[in-house]
Amino acid sequence: MPIELQGLRTVIYPVADLDAAKLWWTTLLGREPYFDQPFYVGFQVAGYELGLLPEASPADGALTYWGVESVQDAMDAAVAVGAVEHAAATEVGEGIITGSVLAATGNVVGFIYNPHFRLPA
């Protein structure tokens, strides 16, 4: 069952040292994060999300999230063609739902439903 990807939405970098990563990205981007908590730091970059996640494995590499209407449906479709669940579909706050699969190709593929996402005009 094919799914419709709505485009890229978010890149999450797993980090071992959240404070060091936050300082590095703040310096590189020239601005403070818009969201700054011990469990997640988020920057807005040209309308997209750049996140730092201390609870994920840096060995997974950057996690890219594709926009979809239903994260669970996208994950089910991916599993139907050989993927396995990597992270269950979960609401992470404000109606935003994320989940990921480990594709048969060995890549982690993330899906996100974000009712607040809007590209700048």
Q: What string of H, E and C letters represents the secondary structure of 60-113?
A: HCCEEEEECCCHHHHHHHHHHCCCEEEEEEEEEECCEEEEEEECCCCCEEEEEE
Looking at residue 64, its pLDDT comes to 94
From residue 41, how far is each of 33, 55, 77, 121 by CA, in Å? Answer: 7, 11, 30, 25
pLDDT tens-digit map of 4-47: 999 899 999 999 999 999 999 999 999 999 999 999 999 999 88
pTM for the whole structure: 0.84
If you average pLDDT over every residue of the chain, what do you get?
A: 92
Helix (H) / strand (E) element for 86: namely strand 84-93
